Every structure is written in structure tokens, then in C-alpha cells.
Structure 1
Amino acid sequence: MEDLSAYNPEGSDLRSMQLRMLEMLGYLDEVCLRNNIKYWMGAGTLLGAVRHQGFIPWDDDLDIEMTRTDYKKLIRILLKEKSGRYVLQTPLTDWNYVFPLAKLRDTGSRVTELRNAGKNYRYRGIYIDIFYLDRGNTFLARLTVNLQKFIWVLSLVKNDPLGILPALRFALRFVLHDIIFQFLRLCARLFGIRTLILPYGTGFTAFRDLKEIFPLQRISFEGRYFNAPADTDAYLKRLYGDYMKLPDRDKREIHTIKKEML
């Protein structure tokens, strides 16, 4: 069995980052339980919980998922909560943030991401991605990826002599998210689609099945217990195939290149 402890030894920058995210997850878990919001660990975070009983040793992000209804409820609550330690990042709280999903950011740290993604963001601390799921179709999801990528590229441009880019980003985001995506979601409801996908425009097209998610269960993650889908095996096989097999060393991705604890 390969020794993976070299990736995140105690006291390392990566391990410190993981422990900070664990604290943030504990905060979100408490808020969700208190307000009857059904979230679950998703994607690589769930994979880590099942395969490693915690973080994937080289992983430097954390994902939770929920339905759109619970997501809206959580966003309303987090905007009112004044924890002092964390801040909610959305296009409403950070003008340069163009991703259609919220992040909970730590105010006591700063990260620099690969390809300098997010260099113009107002908030740049360690974060948890908060994903919501809609009923939808993976084919349509793929069609919307390039539109969202174009808006993201505009957010990286600094040379704007006419000062029109902020308004252009806002207009494109409005048309895409409030008209096109709303129409696609309506079609999914009308046709009774039971598969769940991440929002149109995020670039994620793998789907989840409702019967694999509910009822939620509590499983161990870093010595604590958090929500997980009912059928973790089916969920992880759908996303990763043979998920208990470790990826090759050159496939073990890290998203950030610099971490600072302030």
C-alpha cells in the first residue's frame, strides 16, 4: 500500500489549509442542521470520506451539494449571518466573481490559484464550494459551457479603456442565467426529468440520480460526521468509475499554488 502521508504531513501548508476547511465545514453543518437544510458532501470530498475517511491527501478544496431550494435558503441565511471569520462570495457580494455558484470564504487566509484564476476577486481566502443541483439534461449542460467560459474570460481582462466590461459582463450574465437557464429549468420540470445536474454554465455535466441521494446519511470525515448521499457507492461509481483505485501520480491535482494564513 502506497504511503500517502508525504502529501499533507502535519504542519504543512496543505494540511493547515485542509484543517481550516474542516472548521468551515463544521460551521456550515451547524447552520444547515439548525435551519433544516439538506446538504451533502459531494464529488472529491465524498470520495475522500469514503476512500480515505477524510481529505484526499493531495486535495485542497472542499465541495458540498444541495437542491436549488435549499441553496437559496442557505444563501439568504449566510448573507444575514455575521460570523466574522467567513464571508459569502457571490456575484452580488463580489462584482468580479462570475461563477454561478457561491463560495464560503475564510477571511483569515489568502490563496493564489492555478493560472491565477480569481486574481481580480474581492475575496480570495480559503473556500468551500457550495453547489446546487437542478433537474436537467447533460446534453443541454454541455451546450452552455462555452457561453459561461466567455463571461469568465471577460472577468480576467484588466485593460478596459472604455469602462464597458463590467456592464457587458452583467448583461451577458443576466441573459444567460435569468433567461436561458430559467427556460431550460422550466422544460426539465415540465417533462418530469428526475436526474440532477449542476447548474447550466458551470462546465460540470455529470448527473446525479435522486434515488442515490436521499435519504441522507451521516458518515465519518476527518473524525467528525457530516451528511452524505444514501448510496455513496452508486454516486461515486457514476463520477469516477473504480473510485477506490488511486489515480496515477501525475493525475493527482492541486488547485492552488500559494496559501497564506493571515
Structure 2
Amino acid sequence: MQKYCILFEYTKIITTFAHMKTYNTGETDDDLRREYNPEGSNLRKAQLRLLDMAVYLQTTAKKIGVPCRIDGGNVIGALRHGGFIPWDDDIDFVVDYKDFHRLCRYLKDHPHPQYVLQDNETDKGFYKEWAVLRDLKSREVSHDAADSHDRRTAEAMKFQGLHVDIFPYEGYMIPWLQRFAAKLSVNVNMLFAGVHPWLAQAGYDVLHYAVFPVFRIIGRIFGNRDNCMHSYGAWFYEQLPREALVPHKDIVFEGKTFEGPADPDRMCRVAYHDYMNLPPKDKRDRHKIDIEFL
């Protein structure tokens, strides 16, 4: 019993010191929680729903033997805050391109009662080169102007709840070709989605089934196996060395254990540089949406 009491007291001390950490801006984790995502707030409710979705996705991927890891700002959040960046409202996962379609197929063939896999097969208003796990019991409400590209493309989609992005990821990537691929995909989405659906679908089909497979072949011939990026057509351009990413290493996020990159510190330093410092308040990327729970 004494051993457990000592362990409990030690845990309390560690937790207290974690909350006493002062960032470069003079703020602590407690300050950030009070300002952005206090318990019971809409944002905190959204984060906890996303966390449940992430646990479901990770469990499903492990069940079928697909390595699937958290990515991007969620890795920063895990290292810096132990979970969500306080003002953040999304979760990103990445899957090796060779496993991506198998995971998506399984999620579609074995549907969850509340979460749905959204891609161009399940939602003809979705024209992106990645997939999304959507919550059916919430809705993202945009603050963008009614005629804005972002709002129009979002409202063209069938599923509009809280979402977890699932990105295919691969080596042999040619950076300038990926930028060109992203511009092509962005234009299909921004110019045609919600306005000319048949053009959007035609553009998506040409890119997805013809252009991007050719880019992938070019990458296999001229690219570097260890230069890893989001797959052709995704709207992200970070280049990361393979050894920083695989094999996956466990990382704790909001008290849950997920697969993370092999070297999360190196990944964040390459992609985000001085990631342990907080950005100024006016640079904190807060999405222009509200969450309605249904």
C-alpha cells in the first residue's frame, strides 16, 4: 500500500510540474486550457469526439495489420502539450500508400454506427486525394463568406461532421511534381466543386486514374526512395527522411497510446523547426468553423 501511495504522490508532482511549464510567450498549459479549450467547452467536446474517432481508427488499422500513425500538428501536440494543441480541432493520420486503399475498403465494408469513411466512392461531392473519417452526429458550420471557395466546397459534400483525415504517404516523391499535382487537385476542388459537379468529377477522375499514376511512375524512375511526402494530389509539401518516420514508435496523445513516427522530435524539427515554442496569438491557426452536435 505504501508503495502505491508513493507512486500516486510522485505522479501528482510530475503532473503539477507539467502544468507549471512556462512557454516562450509566458503562458502555461493551464493558461492555454482556460483560454482555448476549457472542460465543457464546445472545442473540448469536439476534441474528445475526435479522440474517440482516432482510437476507433487506430484499433481498426491494427486489427487488419495496417500501420497507421498520427501526423502533423498532432505530433507537436503530443510532444508539447501531451495531446491536442489547445486551439486545434482536427486529427491527421498517415498510412503507407500501399496500405491506404485496403484500410479504406475495410472501413467502408465494415461501417461503424456513428463514423463513416468519406471518399469519392461514398460521397460524390468529395474530390480529394485522401480519405476522411466523418462523425455522423455533428456538423461543421463555416464562418467563411457564403460565396467563398472553402465554404462552397465544404457544403458540396454529403458528410459534414467532425473529421479525421487519413492521408496516403510514400517515398520516391519528386517535390516539384507533388506541388504541381497539388495545384491541379486544388483547382478541381476550388473551381468546380459545388458549382459544376460534373466537371469536378471529370477532373477528379482524370487526375486520380490517369495523371497521378503517371506521376507515381515518374517518381519511381527518378525519385529517391527515402524522400517521403504525402501522395500526389495532397495539399501538403513537407519532405521527410524515411528514417524519421518508420518503423513507427508509440506516442502518447491525450492519455491514449497511438502509433507515431520513429523519431518524432526529428520529424517536427524538419517540418516545423522550433516547434516547442508557441506561435504569437495572432498566428495561431484556428479554423473558421463552429461545431454543432446533433
Whether the TM-score (by the shorter chain) exceeds 0.5 is yes
Encode CA deviations 1:87-140: one digit per residue, 9 max, x unaligned: 111011111111111000001101123532501210000010001112211111
Amino acid at match of 1:167: W
What is residue 154 of structure 2 aligned with on the other side? 118
Q: 1:49 to 1:114 in 2, by over 3 A?
A: farther
Name whichever structure is richer in helix by fraction: 2
- Determine if contact 2:132/2:163 at 8 Å carries over to the other structure: yes
Equivalents in 1 of 2:182, 2:59: separation in Å? Answer: 34
What are the residue-to-residue correspondences of 1:58-137 with 2, within 5 Å? 58-113=87-142, 115=144, 116=151, 117-135=153-171, 136-137=173-174
Q: Tell me which structure has the larger Cα radius of gyration.
A: 2
Amino acid at match of 1:177: H
Structure 1 gap segments, 5+ residues each: 159-164
What is residue 40 of structure 2 aligned with on the other side? 11
- Determine if contact 2:156/2:194 at 8 Å carries over to the other structure: no
- Determine if contact 1:134/1:185 at 8 Å carries over to the other structure: no
Q: Give the number of equivalent residue pairs.
A: 256
Correspondence 1:245 to 2:273: no
- Determine if contact 2:77/2:85 at 8 Å carries over to the other structure: yes
Encode CA deviations 1:124-171: one digit per residue, 9 max, x unaligned: 00010001112211111112233212211234444xxxxxx3332222
Correspondence 1:23 to 2:59: no
- Determine if contact 1:198/1:205 at 8 Å carries over to the other structure: yes
Equivalents in 2 of 1:213, 1:168: separation in Å? Answer: 37
* Match of residue 184, structure 1, among 215, 228, 238: 215
Correspondence 1:152 to 2:180: no
SS state at 1:118 partner: helix
Amino acid at match of 2:159: Y
TM-score normalised by the chain length of structure 2: 0.83
Q: Which runs of 4+ in 1 moved over 4 A?
A: none
Q: 1:89 to 1:114 in 2, by over 3 A?
A: farther
What is residue 143 of structure 1 aligned with on the other side? 180
TM-score normalised by the chain length of structure 1: 0.93
Deviation at 1:256, TM superposition (A): 4.0
- Determine if contact 1:111/1:260 at 8 Å carries over to the other structure: yes
